[in-house]
């Protein structure tokens, strides 16, 4: 599932309307950290499966 520029722009615009510009950087950082932890756990799980 790939998102194009148009879809990302709509998502960003809706998030801006809902949360306001002051809260957006904090939410982006939290989302990035969550995604990083998810990828790390997924990679670790795949690594353990190969053993």
Q: What number of H helices and E strands is found in the chain?
A: 2, 0
Whether the predicted model's global pTM rises above the 0.85 cut:
no
User: pLDDT, tens digit, for every residue of 1-51?
Assistant: 688 999 988 988 998 899 888 988 898 899 899 989 999 998 998 888 886
* pLDDT attached to residue 1: 67
Largest CA distance in the chain: 47
* pLDDT attached to residue 39: 92
* pLDDT attached to residue 10: 93
Closest residue by Cα to residue 27 from 40, 13, 16: 16
């Amino acid at each position: 599932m790939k998102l194009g520029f148009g879809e990302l722009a709509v998502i960003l615009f809706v998030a801006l309307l809902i949360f306001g510009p002051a809260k957006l950087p904090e939410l982006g950082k939290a989302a990035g950290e969550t995604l990083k932890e998810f990828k790390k756990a997924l990679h670790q799980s795949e690594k353990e499966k190969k053993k």
